[in-house]
Amino acid sequence: MNWDVLSAVAEILAAVAVVVSLIYLASQIRQSNIQAQGEAHSNWMTTWNETIKGWIADRETVQILQRGFADFSALQNFEQAIFAQQLAALINQWILAADLTDRGLLDEQIYRGATELVLSVCATPGGRFFIESSYTTFPRGSQLLELVQSEAGILPPFNILSPWWSIDTNDPRD
C-alpha cells in the first residue's frame, strides 16, 4: 500500500467520523431541546396554577376580585392594591407564556388558552380599567392592550364566562 491510498482512506474515515459526530451532536441537541421544553412547560404550569390559586386563597380575595371585575373604582384603596396585584401576577404569567412560546419552549395551544383567559379578565369593566391604566408597566403591555381593544365585544368578560366570579348577591354571609 502506498501513502496516497493510506491518506485517502484516512480522509474517508475522518469524514465518516465527522458525519457520525454531527449526527450524535444533533441528537443530543434535540434531546436537550425536548428536555428544555418539558421543564419550561412544567415550570410555567406550576406557576400559572399558583397564580390562579392565589385568586381563591381566601374568601376576602375572592370577594375583592368579584367586586373589582365589576367596578374597580368601587374598591377601597387596599382592595384596589390586592386586585391590581392579582391581575399583575396573571398578566406576568401571560407575558412569560408569550416569551416561552416565541422561543419554542411552550406549546402554542397553551399560550392561546392563557391569552383567552387574560383577555376575558381584561374584558371585565375592572380588568379593562386596570390594563388601560397600567399597560405601560408591563413588557408586553401595549401588545396586550391592542389585543384587548381588538377583542372588545367578541370574547365574553371573565365574570360572564365563569359566572362564579360574578358578585354573589344571594350569599347570606355578606
Whether 107 maps to a domain, the answer reads yes
Write the burial class of residue 143 (CB in 10 Å: 0-12 exposed, 13-18 middle, 19+ buried).
middle
Q: Name the residue range of residue 123's domain.
A: 39-165
- Asked if 68 and 167 count as a contact pair (C-beta separation under 8 A), the reply is no
Phi and psi dihedrals of 155, rounded to 5? -90, 130
d(CA 106, CA 39): 10
Query: 21 by DSSP, 3-state: which?
Result: helix
Whether 24 maps to a domain, the answer reads no
Q: pLDDT tens digits for the chain (174 residues)? A: 688 888 888 889 888 889 889 998 988 988 888 888 889 889 989 998 999 888 888 889 999 999 999 999 999 999 999 999 999 999 999 999 999 999 999 999 999 989 988 998 998 999 999 999 998 888 888 988 888 888 877 777 877 777 777 776 665 555
Cell of 87: 391581575
Q: What is the structure's pLDDT at 24? A: 87
Whether 30 maps to a domain, the answer reads no
d(CA 19, CA 115): 43
Q: What is the structure's pLDDT at 55? A: 87
Whether 5 maps to a domain, the answer reads no
Q: What is the structure's pLDDT at 1? A: 64
Q: What is the structure's pLDDT at 111? A: 92
Q: What is the structure's pLDDT at 70? A: 92
For the entire predicted model, the pTM comes to 0.78
Number of domains within the chain: 1
Whether 80 maps to a domain, the answer reads yes
Q: What is the structure's pLDDT at 110? A: 92
Whether 3 maps to a domain, the answer reads no
